[in-house]
Amino acid sequence: MSTSLNGSCLCGSIKVKLNGAPIKAMLCHCVDCQKSAGGPYQSNAIFNTSNVELEDPKGYAKMYLVPKEQTGSGFEKQKWFCSNCGSPLFNRPMKYEGQKSVVKTGILDSAAGFEGSPLDQLKPVSELYTKDRPSFVKAVDGAKQFTEAAPASAPAPAQ
Ligand SMILES: [Zn+2]
Ligand SMILES: [Zn+2]
């Protein structure tokens, strides 16, 4: 895995640089992720926030605070997105006091020389909330399956 990955929003105004390897990458099928993505699931990679660099010259990055009553963790969650084009960028769960960023891997751009989908650079190792996964979406080969949040000893939930 390359030591640095780059992502951007749909309009290209916001660039995100991810330094170092992620803590883990996973898919989350929970209903909040479905709404957030406008799709069947979110593809996430957790990074230490200190490894996430934001380049936002036009000041388009905007944050929606998900109330704690609505999160699986019981803590508030910051959901960051581009206010110009609406692309989700990353979440910051207050469970970790903002020190971890759950990056949406759909924003990834291919590193120079990388062949294939940019998302192949951060393949999911687990899938969470499979109880909410629609019947037309199949499990990822080799990914650990959790009906809800992963137990504490296993990959943490993307909430
Ligand atoms: Zn944008
Ligand atoms: Zn989720």
In-domain check, residue 153 = no
**129: nearest Cα among 38, 47, 44:** 44
**CATH value at residue 47:** 2.170.150.70
In-domain check, residue 50 = yes
In-domain check, residue 124 = yes
Q: What does the pLDDT look like over 61-93, one tens digit per residue?
A: 999 999 999 887 889 999 999 999 999 999 999
In-domain check, residue 159 = no
In-domain check, residue 14 = yes
Domain extent for 134 = 4-145
Distance 53 CA to ligand 1 centre (A): 16
In-domain check, residue 157 = no
Q: What is the DSSP code (8-state) at residue 3?
A: S
Q: What is the mean pLDDT of the chain?
A: 92
Which listed ligand is nearest to 80 at the C-alpha? 1
Distance 81 CA to ligand 1 centre (A): 8
Which listed ligand is nearest to 27 at the C-alpha? 2
Which listed ligand is nearest to 131 at the C-alpha? 2
Judged by DSSP in three states, 37 sits in helix
Domain count, the chain: 1
pLDDT at position 155 over 70: no
Average pLDDT over residues 26-43: 95
User: Could you tell me the pTM of the whole model?
Assistant: 0.90
pLDDT at position 115 over 80: yes
In-domain check, residue 150 = no
In-domain check, residue 90 = yes
Average pLDDT over residues 128-133: 97
